[in-house]
Chains A and B, each alone.
Chain A
Amino acid sequence: MAGEAVVVGSGAAGSVVAWELARNGWSVTVLERGRHLREGLGERPSGELGTRYGSDEIKNVSRAMGFPDGLLEPYTTRTQAEAAGGTARSARGALGQLGAAVGGTTLHYNAKTPRFWKQDFTQVSDLGPVEGAQVADWPIGYDDLEPYYDEVERRVGVQGDIDAMPSRTLEQSPRSAGFEMPPNPVPYVRSLLAEGARRASYSTYPQPAAVNSTGFGGRPACNSCGLCSGYGCPINARGDALVSWLNPAVGTGQVRVIDRAFVHRIDTTRKGHRARRVGYMDMSGREHAVSGDIVVVAGSPINTARLLLLSATAAHPDGLGNGSGQLGRNMMFHNLTLAVAVFGQDVHPLRSQSNALQLDDLVGPFTGPEVRALGVPYVKGAMVQVGGGMPLLESAELYAGLVGYGRAHKELMKAALTYTRIGGSALWHEDLPQADNRVDLDPEVTDFLGVPSARITYSPHRHEKAAAMLLGPRMQAFHQLAPGAIASAFVPYPVIRDGATYSAHLGGTARMGEDPATSVCDASGRMHELDNVYVADASTFPTFPGFNPTLTIMANALRIARGIAGGARQGRS
């Protein structure tokens, strides 16, 4: 039965929810703290929307258009050790790296869309517990998500090559069909690194990506400009949440989007069983409220947790729906281990859709004696994105960190290494959930409206450090084996830093589970303690496998929204 819904957040999850509910006759209000960046939303086909984005490093990176402002809406952070020592915070600023715009971070995401694997949903059953971590099975399995993966891929338009995918990848993430489009051209540097991988007995394949390689959805093919992650696509070749879901949803006339709406409270009935309305402030601090039959929270893990914690009442003293004490806990990032090959020739790594190859040989789990010697029962690594370079201004900032300024800096800039002679790769570490990695409300720091900021306490688990030390050398090895490579290195961030690496992949804080004592939401996304409040974003993920999460965020949000629209509760099939 269709009703009225309030959706908080217009990103990968919120856009999908708005689309599915609108399609089923619901009236939907979407509240978004960012601004409209695509002129014509809801009025023009997705292929004809305007854009404020261009291939402009100053605007997109240095000045972070489309991101929350670190002065106006700071997060604060600290490590677990700092928290134990009584440090209130050790950093403050724009530390989450997710965007704030209508369409969310997907406006400038890298658009890589691997699926999670079957084994990721049954981790504690398969591999047992890990000391100091709260590893859990998901209340759903891969089979529950598979039809939604299919549907999302068809709608956003995914390129890939099923024939090139390793058999284990296809066993672990079976597909009922191929991809909407063939892969983009494989860039030269990636051919070299693919050969290095082959020499190391690994295999690579074109990474599935929501990037047009042919015309699709009224939008053109990617022309391999190379500026993807962190940049809006100037030619509209990327299948983001706005063009795929939100724009058609608004076009139905069933959905309104209110931008620059700073949501700070979900009001509940006196006994606390139902949400009554969602309160937000506009830029001038004026209070507004929207009521609906249901509230769907989709602000991404840090902001979803912050909102639910801000909504504490007498009936929910520790935050809305936090009887388990798990709300805000299990904050997970994808830490990075990086490797690079330096070549003796120009391999122009920026001429391509960025990071276009995937390598799955380091996903794991690894359980041999070399792993147990590191003090953990197993290591799960991640897929590796193979073979990127870096544009000029970011290179200048990196070199500033290395040598400062002056002649040495200019000589490094003249050498042009980062866009001519390197192929760099990233392993996006699976991050085990920990109770002490958590979002809470900063006791002093606020946003510009006076609302408490989110504070993130985070340190990687020993598992992530072990994974970095086990797998980093293997990454370096296949880079060194690439034809023409003259040097190589790896950087194991989980070992270097006791804090978060802010990799723009966020999960956890409102985990799904069957037991209300140990989880915040049930398998349908509904909060255990509330009749009409759902969480639809990556906050619900009980674990955070080492794959780009956006496709799974969209698929899970579609599953949750369809459950709401159909009125059905879902569980393990």
Chain B
Amino acid sequence: MASGGGDHGVPRRTLLRGTGAVAIAVFAPLTGGGMRQAVAVPRGSAEQPRYLTRAELDTMRALVDRIVPEDHATPGGARSGCAEAIDGLLGAFREDPPLIFAGAPFSDRAGSPVNHFAEFLPLDSYEETAWRLRIEGSGDRPERAFNGPVTGFQTIYRDGLAALDEAAVGGRRFAGLTAPEQDLLLATSRDPAVTALMDVAVPHTFEFQYGAPEYGGNVDLAGWDYTGYPGDVQPRGWTREEVEEPDRHAGPVAPLPGVVPGDELVAALALAHPDAVRGVLARSGGLLSGLRSEVGSAVAAAKRHGAGDGKEGGSTDGW
């Protein structure tokens, strides 16, 4: 089947119903070294995507590798499964339960013998209505357009990926461009379909790269390995000594990354408070353009009011 998408194909949930929950999980490919745990992930594959066509999935893989680029030491978004995970979100309702909320309370990464995350939670009708609207849009269903039409993720991705392929010059598709060409195209495109795509694709890629692997990304826990992030730590938690004392084994820390002026970075770190970030997310709608605007204005103000970066070089106009 060339097209896994649209509402015309046989829903996978119909095919899989009755075969048991195990059948919907495929094992992530065990590539590379240093993986801590193979995780059963509910996602499609390059051969059989859930919603996107195979050609669209190719473009998607190229895109997520620009959002999280591979480098000499660490995998990018493609090898980490982000494209397949986004496809899993777009086709979330082809599974039962839908792939929206992972299970609870524990994964098997911190002391639980059972990975509860791996079995997704059934939705109630409110949650199903909300997530169908978000993913499928209002379409031609007026009862979903009570505050005007809603363009769903499926349409945003399908139109945006097509626009990327159309914008690729020289008879190539987006995936056939070199990485610098892809970066240039993304940075310079004024196509509203591309802008809308990036508004959702960037946050989604980060979700899957850095979130729990049960959602289909973060394959081999790559996103937690190269960031040194411990991941979910329940039910083990931390001991009194681990809480109260500095790590005896902690090595020297790296200088602050020079990819952004130090005073801007330190100002942004002042926003690194869960309640503040919830506000940023609420006001931005979680969209890339909104995030840029929200954080940009806060950082500019903090710089005016004296964010300093102390001893680590960079701009020091506040100190």
Which of A's residues lie within 8 Å of B, judged by CB? 35, 51-59, 61-63, 65, 69-72, 74, 91-95, 97, 110, 184-188, 191, 222-226, 229-230, 234-235, 260, 283-284, 336, 338-340, 342, 344-348, 351-352, 354, 388-422, 424-426, 445-448, 450, 469, 472-473, 476, 480, 485-493, 495-497, 499, 501-504
**CB-based contact A342/B129 at 8 Å:** no
Report the nearest A residue to B233, measured CB to CB: A225
Give the interface centre of B235, B238, B250 by most chain A CB atoms within 10 Å.
B238
Max chain A Cβ within 10 angstroms of own Cβ: one of B116, B279, B288: B279
The list of the 9 closest CB pairs from A to B, nearest first, reads A223-B237, A401-B295, A489-B307, A401-B291, A234-B105, A55-B232, A408-B259, A487-B310, A69-B130
Complex formed: what's the CA distance from A342 to B183 in Å?
A: 32
CB of B227 closer than 8 Å to a CB of A:
yes
- Which residues of A sit under 8 angstroms from B59, Cβ to Cβ? none
Asked whether A71 and B133 contact (CB < 8 A) given A394-B277, A407-B259, A415-B254, the answer is: yes
B190 contacts chain A at the CB level, 8 A cutoff = no
| Cross-chain contact B302 with A401 (CB below 8 angstroms) | no
A61 to B309, CA, bound (A): 30
A420 touches B276 (CB 8 A): no
* B11 is an interface residue with CB less than 8 A from chain A: no
Binds A, one of B42-50, B156-164, B210-218: B210-218
Please provide the chain B residues from 21 to 38 with a CB less than 8 Å away from any CB of chain A in the complex: none
Whether B246 contacts A63 by the Cβ 8 Å rule is: no
Contacts of A223 in B (CB 8 A): 234-238
Partner of B244, one of A74, A185, A404: A185
**Are A69 and B126 interface neighbours, CB within 8 A?**
yes
Is B129 within 8 A of A402, CB to CB?
no
Write out the residue numbers on chain B whose beta carbons fall within 8 Å of the beta carbon of A59: 101-102, 212
Chain B CB count within 10 A is highest, among A97, A407, A412, A489, for A489
Jot down 8 A-B pairs with beta carbons below 8 A, ordered by A. A57-B211, A95-B283, A260-B124, A404-B292, A410-B71, A415-B257, A487-B256, A487-B308
Complex formed: what's the CA distance from A20 to B236 in Å? 36
| Residues of A close to B212: CB separation below 8 A | 56-59
Considering the chains assembled together, what is the distance between the CA atoms of A275 and B34 in angstroms?
65
A436 to chain B, nearest CB (A): 20
Q: Determine the chain B residues whose CB is within 8 A of the CB of A399 once the complex forms.
A: 268
- In the complex, the answer to whether A426 meets B273 with C-beta atoms within 8 Å is yes
B contact residues around A446 at 8 Å (CB): 146-147
User: B244 touching A186 by the CB < 8 A rule?
Assistant: yes
With a cutoff of 8 Å between Cβ atoms, the chain A residues found around residue B298 in the complex are 491, 493, 496
Complex contacts, B317 vs chain A, CB 8 Å: none
Q: Is the CB of A396 within 8 A of B292?
A: no
Residues in B neighbouring A396, C-beta threshold 8 A: 206, 209-210
Also in contact, A420 and B305, with CB within 8 A (given A57-B212, A224-B238): no
Question: Looking across the interface, which residue of chain B has its beta carbon closest to that of A350?
Answer: B230
Given known contacts A234-B235, A340-B269, A489-B306, is B183 in contact with A346 (CB within 8 Å)? no
Are A283 and B104 in touch, CB under 8 angstroms? no
| Chain B nearest Cβ from A251, distance in angstroms | 22
Q: Within 8 Å CB of B188, what residues of A?
A: none
Contact in complex: A417, B269 (CB < 8 Å)? yes
Q: Is the CB of B117 within 8 A of A489?
A: no
If A62-B211, A492-B301 touch, whether A400 touches B206 (CB-CB below 8 Å) is yes
Q: Is B140 an interface residue (CB 8 A)?
A: no
Task: Assess A229 versus B250: contact at CB under 8 Å? Given A58-B212, A340-B266.
Answer: no
Q: Which residues in B have some Cβ–Cβ distance to A below 8 Å?
A: 66-69, 71, 74, 100-107, 116-117, 121, 124-127, 129-130, 133-134, 146-147, 150, 183, 202-203, 205-207, 209-212, 215, 223-224, 226-229, 232-238, 240, 242-247, 250, 253-254, 256-257, 259-260, 262-286, 288, 291-299, 301-302, 305-312, 318
> When the two chains form their complex, are residues B288 and A424 in contact, meaning their CB atoms are under 8 A apart?
no
B286 with A229: CB separation less than 8 A: no
A65 vs B124: C-alpha distance when bound (angstroms): 11
Candidates A352, A398, A408; contact of B271 at CB < 8 Å: A398
Q: B210 and A413: CB pair below 8 A?
A: yes
Nearest-neighbour CB distance to chain B for A519, whole angstroms, equals 30
Minimum CB distance partner of A344 in chain B: B253
Q: Is the CB of B224 within 8 A of A392?
A: yes
Of A72, A260, A488, A490, which one neighbours B133 at CB under 8 angstroms? A72
Residues on the B chain within 8 Å of A91, using CB: 283
Smallest Cβ distance from B276 to chain A, in angstroms? 6
Q: Cα distance A425–B126 when bound, in Å?
A: 36
Docked CA distance A54–B124 (Å): 18
CA distance A373 to B252 in the complex (A): 46
A161 CB to closest chain B CB (Å) equals 15
Q: Which residues of B contact A71 (CB under 8 A)?
A: 130, 133-134, 147, 150
In the bound complex, residues from chain B placing their C-beta under 8 Å from that of A342 are 256, 266, 269, 309-310
Is the pair B278, A414 in contact by a Cβ cutoff of 8 Å?
Answer: no
Most buried by B among A185, A405, A480: A405
Minimal beta-carbon separation of A318 from chain B (angstroms): 25
Q: Are A61 and B278 in contact (CB under 8 A)?
A: yes
A54 and B102 contacting across the interface, CB-CB below 8 Å = yes
Interchain CB contact under 8 A, B126 and A35: yes
- Smallest distance from the beta carbon of A92 to chain B beta carbons, Å? 8
- Rounded to whole Å, the gap between the CB of A345 and the closest CB of chain B is 6
Whether B301 and A496, one on each chain, are in contact in the complex, defined by CB atoms closer than 8 angstroms, is yes
Residue of A with least CB distance to B116: A54
- Interface pair A56/B211, CB less than 8 Å apart: yes
Known: A54-B105, A393-B207, A398-B277. 19 other contacts (CB 8 A): A57-B210, A72-B126, A93-B285, A185-B243, A235-B234, A283-B124, A336-B275, A336-B279, A397-B280, A400-B292, A407-B69, A410-B68, A413-B210, A417-B272, A469-B305, A487-B311, A493-B298, A503-B279, A504-B278
**Which chain B residue has the least Cβ–Cβ distance from A419?**
B229
| Alpha-carbon distance between A283 and B296 when the two chains are bound, in angstroms | 40
Q: Is the CB of B130 within 8 A of A72?
A: yes
A58 touches B146 (CB 8 A): no
State the CA gap A501–B237 with chains docked (Å).
Answer: 31
Give Cα A139–Cα B309 distance, bound, in whole angstroms. Answer: 48
